[in-house]
Amino acid sequence: MKAIPVYLKNTLRSLRVKNGYSQKEAAMLLGISDATLRNWERNAEVVPMPKIPKVAEVYHTPQEYIFFGRESAFSEVLRKRRIN
Reported as a single tens digit per residue, the pLDDT across 66-77 is 999 988 888 887
| Count of helices and strands (H, E) across the chain | 5, 0
Please choose, from the candidates 48, 83, 61, 54, the residue with its C-alpha nearest in 3D space to the C-alpha of residue 14.
61
Question: What does the chain come to in residues?
Answer: 84
Domains of the chain and CATH, by start: 6-79 (1.10.260.40)
Q: What's the whole-number average pLDDT of the chain?
A: 92
| Residue 43 confidence class, pLDDT cut points 50, 70, 90 | very high
